[in-house]
Structure 1
């Protein structure tokens, strides 16, 4: 990708503080040069205070990433809460109140970690790939608190052992690029189908076609004028506005208010989840699912980190997302969120980091604004109705997350011996899921059976086959236990 570098910036990452190195945007010939300079002079501190204007600044690009992240958060938490609510017999009131509760919980933790103590930790978002597993967890008698606490525990263990960064370093460009291509394509097609399903449900299928066609043209124009970071708000405005103009029905239902903030309400036997507190058996039931959830973090985190790397200019390693720090913050957030009664199961926040990377903005400033937007959405209520309306939701996810993932995947697989690995990732992900595809292809790639043979020869035995084989065996074994391998019944009777 093209990088604009001011000659006077040479060595700025090594000398002087952020405050002394900061220069006004008017001193640069373009907005891109100013934003790239900001990335190069930042000096984030781990487990020490990082303060606005002293260690980073707010730019209007941060509001775009924060807006996209807030929309994605409302949507994803709502999806998880709804997936739990249906088999447990909980109504719409539970879903709405828990989403509002989760927005307040996450605001505190992203301020504390991504905005203050760990500025290279991506925001702790929602684990979308877990959604299809939730009905299986509930059917097996799984308890949401037990599930969340085990995810937090295993995540902390992986972060403290630096297992996340080890696995990321063992994943080649071909494997990562293929994973991004798969996720981008599957995500895009799923959102297009959802938009058409919504339009057909109101007997106005032409609305979906017009919205998507208009979004394509808008995205192309933004790409031409190098303003892709505006894609999410403009597409949301276009999708929602066009749907209203074409006669699609919409009304605000969620008014201002606050959720119940008492954890005992949420974990009562006749209130909230109506499940009471978990027992030892509850933890045993969800154990394999928790292992699988944390194992699926690595490809998710890696994809977000790589997208940031190819969007940022040179000499910005200090401000790029740190996988182990992200795992740490996500694990702590998951643990406390589950104790408090939230429905969220966390992962790296894709709907935030992708637009932020496109806009060439570091994590902390947008994190602070995202926290503010989440609180506003929770208390005000009305933005929640807009965010989950299909014409707004679908186009936001398409242009804000999935199309950029496709672009990043193609960028990573255009050079070197990467196409073989990318193809195998897509093939094996389609067979089972992206976690299986990533683990299998990483093993084959590191063994030198596919991809770059020279890279394989340079790896130690531990990195070449021992760690990849262990990862593949753990993941495949857990999937076999709970019945996630197509055509093979679950080994454990309780999951059949």
Structure 2
């Protein structure tokens, strides 16, 4: 019987010199941590800072700038708002996320909650949300309320438990492959824009060689800073155009400015019709959280050593943190759509670091970027951005997916997720494959028999039906007109 480790990190922590390798030291740190949920967690008493925390901090900051700019830009374009507005709102969002949530919640109050990031999968639907008469504040408040309800009732963890390794592995494989493909295409499009398509090829070949070398020497956690720096150096050396355009400054911190009728978003405050218009999108956004959060949690489990259950991200706590961040950010004037912060938790898992110390580093870097301005230009430069996302997020996702589908009949479920996701989207692929897998039609029949009636078909069936209804209403099934359009 294993000996229970007391909840006293400070007395169990040992200096690096007492371990044979740094990897052993980092593993020990993970094994002795005991985060306090929704209570103060203090540096040195409950965790330490290590220089490896810079890796997820840098990756998360780059990812945050890019993703928030993409979401705010997607809202701003159909509303006729300028690029200056987008930059200003992104800086405002960086400060909201850093001070109120990244540092306060994940750094101090609950290190079991992953950082609240940006909802990338919902990005393609933003123009449709605006065209449907949606309002950013109405959308944010509804996502916040629905997400908090799901988190406090532990609905997210229930759905995660009902998702088999095959279904989850297939989802990771799909997301990883689609992500890599998208970034490769974006990089070539950028390079061909100034007749230097070969530049993208050189950068990508160098990235592959670098990643393989880091795998060989077991230093994969260095992939993001080393890859981003290498991509920038190669691109500049070959003559790629680049200039700093965002100067230092402080964003407008007044919510009345952002939600004024002639300032900020120029939309005023939402009324009931705006909430009705965004309701289907809010339901879909929250439904997308479960597979997204599950993928992050599983990757963390695969990357960490044994006996580290206490530092694994809690799905329900992450949902409550992301929901609160969403509601508060929207009320203050931000345009971000929240989710679990993938560009943080994946690099942190690779570097074998827990959530809190890197969260504080991330918060500080986000504050610096928001005030300084210039780092935002470098972070969104295509070679830096694409390489960082490929080596820091999408390649590790594919590796984790392959690892989860090596045994038993998991490949059947994984294949069903992939083809269903290609047909519609990852939310449909996850919910459809989970239903078939839990019914025992695909995957492991013994697992299905042990789930009980609610786990086999009631909960998966309800989830699948609700999601299909929402997707049908807003027209997400290929070749099928949106139900909402038939009544207009």
> Is the pair's TM-score, using the shorter chain for normalization, greater than 0.5?
yes
Q: Does 1:97 align with 2:103?
A: no
* Correspondence for 2:72: 81
* Correspondence for 1:124: 116
Q: Secondary structure at the match of 1:47?
A: coil
Return the alpha-carbon distance in structure 1 between the equivalents of residues 189 and 160 of structure 2. Answer: 37
Return the alpha-carbon distance in structure 2 between the equivalents of residues 209 and 12 of structure 1. Answer: 53
Assess if the C-alpha contact under 8 Å between 1:61 and 1:361 holds in 2: yes
Q: Does 1:402 align with 2:420?
A: no
Q: Does 1:67 align with 2:58?
A: yes
Return the alpha-carbon distance in structure 2 between the equivalents of residues 12 and 346 of structure 1. Answer: 40
* Correspondence for 1:225: 217
Return the alpha-carbon distance in structure 1 between the equivalents of residues 351 and 479 of structure 2. Answer: 44
* Correspondence for 1:199: 191
* Correspondence for 2:432: 440
TM-aligned CA distance change 1:318 to 1:402, over 3 Å: same
TM-aligned CA distance change 1:494 to 1:293, over 3 Å: farther
CA root-mean-square deviation: 1.0
TM alignment of 1:293-304, pairs within 5 A: 293-304=285-296
Assess if the C-alpha contact under 8 Å between 1:140 and 1:494 holds in 2: no
Return the alpha-carbon distance in structure 2 between the equivalents of residues 207 and 450 of structure 1. Answer: 45
TM-aligned CA distance change 1:97 to 1:379, over 3 Å: same
Assess if the C-alpha contact under 8 Å between 1:66 and 1:352 holds in 2: yes
Offset at residue 105 of structure 1 (A): 0.3
Offset at residue 12 of structure 1 (A): 6.7
Q: Select the residue among 1, 10, 13 that pairs with 1:19.
A: 10
Q: Does 1:366 align with 2:358?
A: yes
Q: Does 1:332 align with 2:315?
A: no
Q: Does 1:55 align with 2:79?
A: no
* Correspondence for 1:471: 463
Return the alpha-carbon distance in structure 2 between the equivalents of residues 13 and 274 of structure 1. Answer: 58
Assess if the C-alpha contact under 8 Å between 2:102 and 2:115 holds in 1: yes
* Correspondence for 1:44: 35
* Correspondence for 1:292: 284
* Correspondence for 1:31: 22
The range that moved more, 11-20 or 106-115, is 11-20
Return the alpha-carbon distance in structure 1 between the equivalents of residues 397 and 46 of structure 2. Answer: 30
Q: Select the residue among 102, 106, 110 that pairs with 2:97.
A: 106
TM-aligned CA distance change 1:149 to 1:30, over 3 Å: same
Assess if the C-alpha contact under 8 Å between 1:239 and 1:395 holds in 2: yes
Assess if the C-alpha contact under 8 Å between 1:159 and 1:328 holds in 2: yes
Offset at residue 382 of structure 1 (A): 0.4
Q: Select the residue among 354, 368, 373 that pairs with 1:376.
A: 368
Return the alpha-carbon distance in structure 2 between the equivalents of residues 418 and 212 of structure 1. Answer: 32
Offset at residue 194 of structure 1 (A): 0.1
Q: Select the residue among 136, 150, 158 that pairs with 1:166.
A: 158
Q: Select the residue among 422, 439, 451 that pairs with 2:443.
A: 451
- Aligned positions, number: 487
Q: Select the residue among 124, 145, 148 that pairs with 1:156.
A: 148
Return the alpha-carbon distance in structure 2 between the equivalents of residues 155 and 408 of structure 1. Answer: 27
- Specify every segment of 5 or more residues in structure 1 that has no aligned partner in the other structure, as ranges: 1-9
- TM-score scaled by length of structure 2: 0.99
* Correspondence for 2:226: 234
Assess if the C-alpha contact under 8 Å between 1:13 and 1:42 holds in 2: no
Q: Secondary structure at the match of 2:483?
A: coil
TM-aligned CA distance change 1:382 to 1:424, over 3 Å: same
* Correspondence for 1:5: none
Offset at residue 11 of structure 1 (A): 5.2
- Specify every segment of 5 or more residues in structure 2 that has no aligned partner in the other structure, as ranges: none
Q: Secondary structure at the match of 1:407?
A: helix
* Correspondence for 1:6: none
Return the alpha-carbon distance in structure 2 between the equivalents of residues 351 and 444 of structure 1. Answer: 31
Offset at residue 16 of structure 1 (A): 5.3
Return the alpha-carbon distance in structure 2 between the equivalents of residues 262 and 156 of structure 1. Answer: 26
- TM-score scaled by length of structure 1: 0.97
Runs of 4+ in 1 over 4 A off after TM superposition: 10-13
Return the alpha-carbon distance in structure 1 between the equivalents of residues 475 and 60 of structure 2. Answer: 33
Q: Secondary structure at the match of 1:268?
A: coil
Offset at residue 494 of structure 1 (A): 8.0
Q: Does 1:183 align with 2:175?
A: yes
Assess if the C-alpha contact under 8 Å between 1:136 and 1:495 holds in 2: no
Assess if the C-alpha contact under 8 Å between 1:13 and 1:40 holds in 2: no
Q: Does 1:323 align with 2:315?
A: yes
Return the alpha-carbon distance in structure 1 between the equivalents of residues 361 and 108 of structure 2. Answer: 13
Assess if the C-alpha contact under 8 Å between 2:424 and 2:476 holds in 1: yes
Offset at residue 169 of structure 1 (A): 0.2
